[in-house]
Amino acid sequence: MSPERLRGDGTTEQDDVYAFAMIIYSMLSDVEPFYELTLQSSTTFSRLSATLRIDAPNYQRV
């Protein structure tokens, strides 16, 4: 996802070009773009999800 899209700006053709470039980069280099940030955010998500356990509502009663 392009940085402009993350900021909430409108979608443009440049978003598609950015996404295509990221796919080509990862295919040619065999490295995920921004791997360090992805690793850090997944670790943060793991910690948050471990502490914020919310039980799903009982849909049988609905």
Q: How far is CA 12 from each of CA 19, 21, 22, 24, 25, rounded to the nearest angstrom?
A: 12, 15, 16, 19, 21
In a domain, 16, yes or no: yes
Composition of the chain by helix, strand, coil, percent to 5: 60, 0, 40
In a domain, 56, yes or no: no
Residue 38: its pLDDT value, please? 58
Please give the tally of structural domains in the chain: 1
d(CA 36, CA 13): 27
Residue 1: its pLDDT value, please? 67
> Average pLDDT for consecutive 10-residue bins of the chain (62 residues)?
74 85 86 66 61 68 64
Residue 3: its pLDDT value, please? 72
Residue ranges making up the domain that contains 7: 3-51
In a domain, 60, yes or no: no
